[in-house]
Amino acid sequence: MHLLLWRHAEAEDGSDDLARKLTSRGKKQAERVAAWLTAVLPNEAQVLVSPAVRAQQTARALGREMETRDEIAPGADAEAVLHAVGWPEGPEWVLVVGHQPALGLVAAELLGTPDCLSLRKGGLMWFESRNRNRENQIVLRAVIGPDLI
């Protein structure tokens, strides 16, 4: 299974957390990462998105069908996100567009570290679960940020 964790791009400040929109810089960040994803993400990939406006706008830059999931809304924990995607035996390809610290907690759990990892706004981490020589392995395939594309 391939699991890609994409943090929403830069968003405006605001008191209604779910309604915060991307800034113009955030829109450019989302477009850059979406262009990179278009080259690597197969058409059959499932795209799961937080209901927060900034996450929805980030995912829309990809131009694919997406499914809004409350389990990955702001405040989610790693267990909820991993359950939502069916890790490690869910669909072959899943892209999650969500938030910190949940995505950093998922990454930390997959890498076996006790500390939350910090994923920059618009950043993406790509994990693969595979079986080699009858051993389950988790491979970190890529870590990118919009400033690197």
User: Where in 64-103 does DSSP place strands (E)?
Assistant: 67-68, 93-98
Per-residue HEC secondary structure of 80-100 comes to HHHHHHCCCCCCCEEEEEECC
Give me the amino acid identity at 46.
Q
The secondary structure of residue 58, as a DSSP letter, is H
| Cβ–Cβ < 8 Å for 89, 131 | no
Fold of 2-148: Rossmann fold (3.40.50)
Render each residue's pLDDT in the chain as its tens digit; 149 residues. 999 999 999 999 999 999 999 999 999 999 999 999 999 999 999 999 999 999 999 999 999 999 999 999 999 999 999 999 999 888 999 999 999 999 999 999 999 999 999 999 999 999 999 888 888 899 999 999 999 98
Q: Where are the domains of the chain?
A: 2-148
Closest CA to 38 of 99, 124, 128, 107: 124
